[in-house]
Structure 1
Amino acid sequence: MPRSAYGLGVFELDPAVTGGPRLRGMAGSMYGSHLVVVGTPDGEQTIAVHTNTEAKGWELVFRAVEAQFGVPPVEGL
């Protein structure tokens, strides 16, 4: 995932990309399925996106995160 840190199966979006909020999550994909969960560290806000297609990019995830958390759109998507 671009513009993120990753370790132990969890990623953290760069606050420079989110406009300030610290967001953490996890993602996984296998044949015919893709799941991403993103939330605030305190658990007050969380969003899960599950599709019945394999990951072909991060556009859907970034648009969902933008809608839920009000982060600015990511350049290049």
Structure 2
Amino acid sequence: MRLGDDDLARLRAALAGRPPGEFHLPEIWGEDWGRLWIGERVQAGHAFLDAVRAGRLAGVEDTGRKAGGGRVYAWRGG
């Protein structure tokens, strides 16, 4: 799975409405997150991490930590 331009635009919009700080992917993914099968969640999480590492989501950093059942990201604003 790879996040397309529409996915990234939706996630950027969700981030824009948040104050800077740490977050987990489901917090910005939206209500559809709970409807995804576990395998789809894993794929989406990996695709998000790839996008962050590739610099496709300006202002988002991978903290390198996991807590509360998932990877922790930091939103620096933007």
| TM-score normalised over the length of structure 2 | 0.26
| TM-score normalised over the length of structure 1 | 0.26
Greater RCO (CA < 8 Å, at least 6 residues apart)? 2
Higher fraction of helix: 2
